[in-house]
């Protein structure tokens, strides 16, 4: 039995994807958090928050205990890990289900267009309420990105296409790594970079001022840090810099590095990135070429190691 949570900011495509996914995983139950908080007038306070969490726990328990379904899908914003954990704690073991958390993502302008289209159809409130929803969505998107989850871009994808990718992951046909995306350099990334770049390769100036303005991605395998990298805006509009890509030694040569590069590119696109640049060690140039990058300049030394500048259009 599988319990599948879909989170993400408002307008990311959660409900439409959940409905499409339900048809791909029969017999399958589906619940949407907004349906379990459906009241007029709408109110957000400690009492209503407790009520909706109780409703969610009750409905999911009923689905899981019924024995009727091989999969249960729940979609809601769930922008903090504490919300996910609160819900899971309401589902007492032993049910023997596998748990998946998928974060659906798209650029702010795409979410804004979707929300405005829904408001025009009468599916969402308009005016000041819509503007407030859009503003909150930008913060919620950042918070969801910081959670450890499988992250799926939805821009340019139909709900059916996103649902199909989820189905493949759940059924073991695709093997991505969950990851976090944060504005702070965390202890897991710091330890991994020290291990790879300082202890293994002998670099001294590993941590620099760019860490303070970068977005950091940390990938996990079996709950343990597996890889990391960082991105930050470059010197031109739409340009992002990819750097500090590190992969645990036992996982090298298994596609983890290439997956991290793709995730970094998707993260840059969320921020409006149109081109990625990087400084690659010459010995790693072939890896980046296989990822679609091309050399752009002469070889130069960095801490005595030959590097080459590389670029890729996103």
The full set of domain ranges for the chain reads 2-170, 179-313
State the DSSP string of 83-140: HHHHHHHTSPSP---EEEEEEEE--HHHHHHHHHHHHHTTSS--HHHHHHHHHHHHHH
State the DSSP string of 282-299: GGGHHHHHHTT-EE-S--
pLDDT score at 131: 65
- pLDDT, tens only, 213-263: 999 999 999 999 999 999 999 999 999 999 999 999 999 999 999 999 999
Say if residues 216 and 184 touch (Cβ distance below 8 Å): yes
> For residue 200, which of 188, 209, 191 has the smallest C-alpha distance?
191
Residues of the chain with pLDDT > 90: what percent? 82
Q: Please name the fold of domain 2-170.
A: Rossmann fold (3.40.50)
Say if residues 74 and 3 touch (Cβ distance below 8 Å): yes
Distances (CA, A) of 168 to 1, 24, 148, 161: 15, 10, 19, 11
Q: How far apart are CA 81 and CA 11, in angstroms?
A: 20
Region 284-310: mean pLDDT is 94
pLDDT score at 127: 59
pLDDT score at 138: 86
pTM exceeds 0.85? yes
For residue 134, pLDDT beyond 80: no
- pLDDT, tens only, 89-105: 999 776 678 999 999 99
Average pLDDT score over the chain:
93
Region 53-62: mean pLDDT is 96
Q: How far apart are CA 46 and CA 274, in angstroms?
A: 43
Say if residues 167 and 21 touch (Cβ distance below 8 Å): yes
Say if residues 7 and 137 touch (Cβ distance below 8 Å): no
CATH of domain 179-313: 3.40.630.30
For residue 290, pLDDT beyond 80: yes
- pLDDT, tens only, 178-218: 999 999 999 999 999 999 999 999 999 899 999 999 999 99
Cα angle 30, 19, 116 (rounded to 5 degrees) comes to 120
- pLDDT, tens only, 73-130: 999 999 999 999 999 999 977 667 899 999 999 998 888 888 788 777 876 665 545 5
More confident residue, 304 or 55: 55
Residue 280's CB is within 10 A of a number of other CB atoms, namely 21
Cα angle 57, 5, 262 (rounded to 5 degrees) comes to 160
């Amino acid at each position: 039995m599988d319990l599948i949570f879909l989170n993400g900011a408002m307008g990311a495509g959660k409900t439409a994807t959940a409905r499409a996914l339900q048809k791909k995983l029969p017999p399958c139950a589906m619940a949407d958090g907004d349906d379990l908080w459906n009241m007029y007038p709408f109110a957000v306070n400690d009492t209503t928050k407790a009520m909706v969490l109780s409703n969610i726990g009750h409905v999911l328990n009923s689905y899981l205990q019924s024995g009727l379904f091989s999969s249960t899908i729940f979609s809601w914003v769930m922008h903090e890990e504490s919300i996910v954990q609160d819900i899971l704690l309401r589902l007492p073991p032993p049910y023997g289900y596998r748990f998946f958390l998928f974060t659906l993502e798209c650029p702010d302008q795409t979410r804004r267009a979707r929300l405005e289209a829904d408001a025009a159809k009468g599916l969402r409130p308009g005016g000041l309420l819509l503007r407030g929803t859009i503003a909150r969505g930008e913060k919620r998107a950042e918070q969801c990105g910081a959670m450890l989850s499988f992250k799926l871009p939805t821009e340019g994808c139909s709900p059916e296409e996103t649902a199909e990718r989820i189905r493949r992951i759940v059924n073991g046909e695709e093997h991505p790594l969950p990851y976090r995306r944060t504005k702070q350099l965390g202890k897991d990334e710091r330890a991994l970079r020290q291990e790879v770049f300082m202890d293994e390769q002998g670099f001294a100036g590993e941590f620099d001022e760019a860490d303070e303005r970068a977005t950091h991605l940390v990938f996990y395998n079996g709950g343990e840090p597996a890889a990391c990298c960082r991105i930050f805006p470059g010197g031109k509009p739409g340009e992002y810099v990819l750097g500090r890509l590190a992969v645990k030694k036992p996982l090298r040569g298994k596609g983890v590095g290439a997956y991290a590069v793709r995730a970094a590119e998707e993260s840059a696109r969320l921020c409006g990135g149109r081109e990625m640049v990087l400084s690659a060690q010459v010995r790693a140039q072939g890896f980046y070429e296989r990822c679609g990058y091309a050399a752009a300049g002469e070889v130069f030394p960095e801490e005595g190691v030959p590097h080459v500048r590389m670029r890729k259009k996103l």
